[in-house]
């Protein structure tokens, strides 16, 4: 069965490097037969969080927010592509995710982090693990960490050099882990309604 996977990316910078990793993950999951869509926070352009989607009266939320809420609810799994900003998370991605809550519940999430440096966004990935868990997702144990990103992926998301080879070696386990949890969560939701 094909899984519906949303890949979230949140940089608003004009010279975005992380889009390389987002493109790589989207292509890799599509190559495995998954139904994948890239959700680019910059392209969607939600405002700074004032009200969550659930806080709007039915039919009154901004159109982009309502459309995204429907996509999140219809998805089987999520991948978060996250850069590291000063030991923290990207504000654009965090802002996008915070507009929603129940829409995320009872599905698995995976984290792929990157940075311009050798730590590959690992500190950001660690922060996202707790955040996504609090938002009702099961975060898989396999992660991707890519850095320096300019030495791992070309502008069109193709692996290069030793860092690219390491990424290619890590990706199958990452994708297998996500697929296993996606299938497990779908089977459990079909067997028994979530408790809340």
Question: Each residue of 125-143: pLDDT tens digit?
Answer: 999 999 999 999 999 999 9
pLDDT confidence band for 186 (50 / 70 / 90): very high
Instruction: Please name the helix (run of DSSP H) or strand (run of DSSP E) that holds residue 158, with its range, or none.
Output: none
Sequence ranges of the domains in the chain: 4-191
Confidence at residue 120, expressed as pLDDT on a 0 to 100 scale = 86
110 near 29, Cβ under 8 Å? Answer: no
Q: What is the pTM of this model?
A: 0.96
pLDDT at 88 over 90: no
Residues 6+ apart with CB under 8 A from 59: none
Confidence at residue 41, expressed as pLDDT on a 0 to 100 scale = 97
CATH of domain 4-191: 3.40.50.360
Chain-centroid distance, C-alpha 166: 20
Confidence at residue 105, expressed as pLDDT on a 0 to 100 scale = 97
Whole-number Å distance between alpha carbons of 159 and 26 = 13
């Amino acid at each position: 069965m094909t899984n519906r996977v949303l890949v979230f990316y949140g940089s608003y910078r004009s010279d975005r490097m992380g889009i390389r990793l987002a493109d790589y993950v989207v292509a890799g999951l599509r190559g495995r037969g998954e139904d994948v869509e890239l959700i680019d926070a910059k392209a969607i352009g939600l405002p700074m969080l004032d009200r969550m989607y659930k806080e709007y009266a039915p039919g009154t939320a901004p159109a982009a927010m309502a459309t995204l809420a429907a996509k999140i609810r219809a998805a089987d799994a999520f991948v978060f592509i996250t850069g590291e900003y000063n030991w923290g998370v990207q504000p654009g991605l965090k802002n996008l995710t915070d507009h929603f809550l129940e829409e995320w519940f009872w599905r698995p999430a995976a984290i792929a982090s990157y940075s311009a440096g050798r730590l590959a966004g690992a500190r950001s990935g660690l922060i996202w693990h707790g955040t996504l868990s609090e938002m009702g997702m099961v975060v898989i144990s396999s992660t991707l960490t890519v850095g320096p990103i300019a030495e791992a992926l070309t502008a069109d998301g193709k692996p290069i050099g030793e860092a690219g080879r390491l990424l290619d070696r890590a990706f199958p386990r990452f994708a297998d882990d996500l697929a296993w949890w996606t299938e497990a969560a779908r089977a459990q939701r079909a067997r028994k309604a979530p408790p809340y």
